[in-house]
A and B are shown apart, each in its own frame.
Chain A
Amino acid sequence: MKYKSQKVAYWFFALSMLLLVLQIVYGFIMGFARVGMDGLHEIIPFNTARAVHTNLLVVWLLSGFMGAAYYIIPEESKRELVSVKLAYVQLISLALVGVTAIIGYHFNWWEGRKFLEIPRQLDYLVVINVLLFLGLILLTLYKAKRRTTTSIVLAMGLLFAALLYLPGMLPFDSQVMDSFFRWWVVHLWVEGVWELIMGGILSFLLIKLTGVDREVIEKWLYVIVGLTFLSGVLGTGHHYYYIGVNDIWIIVGGIFSALEPLAFLGMALFAINMYRKGEKKHPNKLALFWTLGCAIVSFVGAGLLGFAHTLPQTNLYTHGTLVTAMHGHLAFWGAYAMIVLAMISYAMPNLTGRKIYESNRGRAAFWLSNIGMLGMTVAFGVAGVAQVYLERKFKMDFMMVQNEISIHFVTLLICATLFTVGIIFYILDFIKYGRPNDEALETAEHL
């Protein structure tokens, strides 16, 4: 690493790893409940497990993004963070708010709005926390001698993510309006501004790992994030087809959603071409695996599988079925989980000075987690398609259908086990690196 203050990133990454493990535990609780093994129902009913599972996902990804920003922004702007102490305060408060929310869910303390279950009182603390984070990042950039496109795109993504949290706090009496504006947060995060963050991190990693000229990479970064917004903003319409709003969204959402895979295709082609073009072969093969893997898997999970049920004629039957879970799992994994894991894989040798750039366990972590997640996606997909036909075409009762498709959740659990082994390997490597230290300032050669 080049700057001492980058060390704070390690603790955000460590928090991410801890929350990822917890997220997987709650995923298993849900998986077992779906095959009838719901012995924890009285303590952790399905709705609690689900709220914890999805919210932990959001928090560990955000923690990873924040860690990435604390690592990237000093290096890109060629200066230390404006305050390391406040960054630690922000880390601790993020962890406290997250843990309080998760505990609260076990005691019916939530808002009961998909993905935005955090109770209103904690919402205000989230806002303060994010304002502190943004203050540190933006002030560092403001005081910097150099402001690169990569750092600006990353900072814009983080700023817009914070702003877009606000529509989710608006109170509505109408379920339709509530749902409509909830998607302003959820959709415009994951199919909008989070892609800016992903693009910024991807650009940083490609500059470091391939050695391709920054100007070339950053030019294409603009094109890709441009495509993201051009398709993604009006693509929000695919959530509005059948929730009780005007059918103009069927036309608008249908057209622009169909364009959304283009941004992910661009991202995949961009990463692969930069890798091929690059003359510098960075020794950190694991970081390269995760970086290229992220670009490719996100195209399949977010782009192709999203497109598979985004056309209004298809979505009429798949809306509200397990087909959505199929798309959701591979999309979040490919686009956001993998970019965080890529960033951690790149940063850890530089933060700790231990240059473990390649290992059998590291490769096994990559392949097992990806194959496991792909298997889970297929299991969700088969269950979802069967559900669509049995329930919506052949008019079978919901629970009869659930019994028919429960076998696919056995497959899901097997694949989830494979995935978990991969993640355990990854975390073992994370632990093996040890803590960040000042000696790493001198020893890092491949920045």
Chain B
Amino acid sequence: MLSKKQARTFFLGGTMLTFLIFIALTIYSFSGEQDQANTLQLNEPIVRGKQLWEKNNCMGCHTILGEGAYYAPELTKVIDRRGKGYIKAVLMSPVSWAPNGRKMVAYGFTDAEAEDLIAFFDWIDDIDLNGFDRVVSPLAKDK
């Protein structure tokens, strides 16, 4: 029968081993040749777009890369689906955008801010999502 000491060894040993493997896999995932997110293409407009995304808690309604609040549409591949003009109109709208009755906050972004957010969405669209990109956005153009 298992003793308390053996049980403690199982806990400590198992935890240390799995955590070390976890760290190793994290390092591997972010090594240059494994990059699936075109990290080197990140530029100032994309980063500003990400900051706007966070500053306004867009994830509190939308989802991106499948993460968010499921209240408003997934925005991965949104440019493929809607086109830049439509997105810009939504972002710059001075009144709440509510195409199907569900209201979006009227952020009234400036032209420059809208361009930054579009740059961010554009960068997101090119990430290799291991097949999810094809499932999440069936209305997107076939690639």
Q: Report A's interface with B, CB cutoff 8 A.
A: 30, 33-34, 36, 38, 41, 45-48, 50-51, 108, 110-114, 117, 149, 173-180, 215, 218-220, 222-223, 225-227, 229-230, 233-234, 236-237, 240-250, 252, 256, 316-317, 319-322, 324-325, 387, 391-392, 395, 397-400, 402-403
The listed residue (B42, B74, B103, B132) touching A398 by CB distance below 8 A is: B74
Contact in complex: A243, B66 (CB < 8 Å): yes
A117: chain B residues at CB < 8 Å are 57, 60
The listed residue (B10, B19, B70, B99) touching A222 by CB distance below 8 A is: B10
Q: How far is the CA of A41 from the CA of B71 in the complex (A)?
A: 13
Contact in complex: B131, A316 (CB < 8 Å): yes
B55: chain A residues at CB < 8 Å are 108, 112
Interface size of B in residues (CB-CB distance below 8 Å): 66
User: Which 3 residue pairs across A and B have the least CB separation, nearest first?
Assistant: A47-B60, A320-B66, A242-B132
Whether A173 contacts B47 in the complex (CB less than 8 A), given A222-B10, A226-B11, A229-B14, comes out as yes
A-B contact count (CB 8 A): 204
The listed residue (B7, B36, B57, B128) touching A47 by CB distance below 8 A is: B57
Q: How far is the CA of A436 from the CA of B26 in the complex (A)?
A: 48
- State how many angstroms separate the Cβ of A285 from the closest Cβ of chain B: 30
- State how many angstroms separate the Cβ of A189 from the closest Cβ of chain B: 15
> Could you say which of B14, B47, B66, B74 has the most chain A C-beta atoms within 10 Å of its C-beta?
B66
26 contacts across the A-B interface (CB closer than 8 A): A30-B71, A38-B103, A46-B61, A47-B69, A50-B61, A112-B58, A112-B59, A112-B60, A114-B59, A174-B39, A174-B42, A175-B37, A175-B53, A176-B39, A179-B67, A180-B26, A225-B11, A241-B132, A242-B65, A242-B130, A242-B131, A244-B37, A245-B30, A317-B135, A320-B70, A402-B100
Main secondary structure of the interface of A (DSSP, over half): helix
Cβ-based interface call for B112 (8 A): no
A108: chain B residues at CB < 8 Å are 55-57
A236: chain B residues at CB < 8 Å are 22
Provide the B16-51 mask, 1 if CB < 8 A to any CB of A, else 0: 001101100110111000101101001000110010
Chain B residues 115 to 136 lying within 8 A of chain A, measured CB to CB, are 120, 124, 127-132, 135-136
Contact in complex: A316, B135 (CB < 8 Å): yes
Contact in complex: A247, B99 (CB < 8 Å): no
Contact in complex: A243, B129 (CB < 8 Å): yes
The listed residue (A229, A243, A252) touching B15 by CB distance below 8 A is: A229
- State how many angstroms separate the Cβ of B51 from the closest Cβ of chain A: 9
Contact in complex: A47, B2 (CB < 8 Å): no
Contact in complex: B18, A230 (CB < 8 Å): yes
Q: A230-B14, A316-B135 are in contact. List 5 more A-B contacts (CB 8 A).
A: A47-B105, A111-B57, A117-B60, A175-B120, A398-B74
Contact in complex: B34, A111 (CB < 8 Å): no
Whether A173 contacts B50 in the complex (CB less than 8 A), given A113-B59, A222-B4, comes out as yes
Contact in complex: B11, A223 (CB < 8 Å): yes
Cβ-based interface call for B111 (8 A): no
Whether A250 contacts B130 in the complex (CB less than 8 A), given A50-B71, A229-B14, A395-B138, comes out as yes
Whether A112 contacts B10 in the complex (CB less than 8 A), given A47-B105, A219-B2, A242-B66, comes out as no
Contact in complex: B56, A320 (CB < 8 Å): no
Q: How far is the CA of A36 from the CA of B61 in the complex (A)?
A: 15
Contact in complex: B100, A46 (CB < 8 Å): no
Contact in complex: A34, B2 (CB < 8 Å): no
The listed residue (B57, B69, B72) touching A110 by CB distance below 8 A is: B57
- State how many angstroms separate the Cβ of A202 from the closest Cβ of chain B: 15
Q: How far is the CA of A227 from the CA of B34 in the complex (A)?
A: 30
Cβ-based interface call for B110 (8 A): no
Q: How far is the CA of A75 from the CA of B131 in the complex (A)?
A: 53
Contact in complex: B132, A319 (CB < 8 Å): yes
